[in-house]
Amino acid sequence: MKFAIIAAGEGSRLAEEGISAPKPLIPLCGTAMIERLVRIFAANDAEEIVIIVNRLRPETESFVRRLADEYPEWNLRIEVETTPSSMHSFARIAPLLDGAPFCLTTVDTIFREEDFRRYIAAFRSALEAGLDGLMAVTDFIDDESPLYIGTDEALNIDGFYDTREPRFRFISGGIYALAPRALDTLRRCMAEGQSRMRNFQRGLIADGLKLKAHPFSKILDVDHAADIPKAEAFLRDC
């Protein structure tokens, strides 16, 4: 199983709020966000970890290459590109993910390691049961524009929605564990000019893929300077 990290954003909101470091290198409890993710992925038996970083922030590329040199057993694959959206970044690294199940997230997704371990174990079981994907979800809502998840009682996903309805229990956590056929949907979405990950998720349902939701206790994003101490407090409590 492969793992992938999208770390090619510009971090413009953080920069406007006085954070000069590239987002992937912002330390949380003493560890750069990107290193924390890589270590968690490696601990979950990643056969390869694919990372895309922004060409305009060479310090991030240098940091990841140092990690690759120091820990060759992690099998880091590094792509360097400036892209207009997360979905374009995903499309750029898709050829490196083809042919194997994979787990994808962005660099600023913060979660409990134990939640993630259970999630990956559940995904491996889900693949054996014939499912196409397991989507991380949470009932903790602290997002500027949450993506609501429609499910049945067994947590089978029936849709992704921009507005809340009473039946919705969860929002997307921004972590996607998917079978290789999901990349066909990505290619279709790109050909149609789509550029948002939420439309890719909707495309998975439209293409008939069988997805289930997997609840995490809590998932945070780091979009603003004020999110950094929140994330550190959360991790200290884990």
CATH number of the domain that 187 lies in? 3.90.550.10
Domain span holding position 179: 2-237
CB atoms within 10 A of CB 24: 28
Total number of domains in the chain: 1
Residue recorded with tokens 């040199």: 69
SS3 of 136, please? strand
Gap between the Cα atoms of 104 and 117, Å rounded: 14
Gap between the Cα atoms of 69 and 65, Å rounded: 6
Gap between the Cα atoms of 134 and 137, Å rounded: 9
Gap between the Cα atoms of 23 and 9, Å rounded: 8
Instruction: Report in angstroms the alpha-carbon separations of 203 from 76, 197, 238.
Output: 29, 10, 34
User: Model-level pTM?
Assistant: 0.96
Please, what is the Cα angle at 22 between 17 and 24, to 5 degrees?
A: 120
Write out the chain's pLDDT in tens, 238 residues. Answer: 999 999 998 778 898 999 999 999 999 999 999 999 999 999 999 999 999 999 999 999 999 999 999 999 999 999 999 999 999 999 999 999 999 999 999 999 999 999 999 999 999 999 999 999 999 999 998 877 899 999 999 999 999 999 999 999 999 999 999 999 999 999 999 999 999 999 999 999 999 999 999 999 999 999 999 999 999 999 998 6
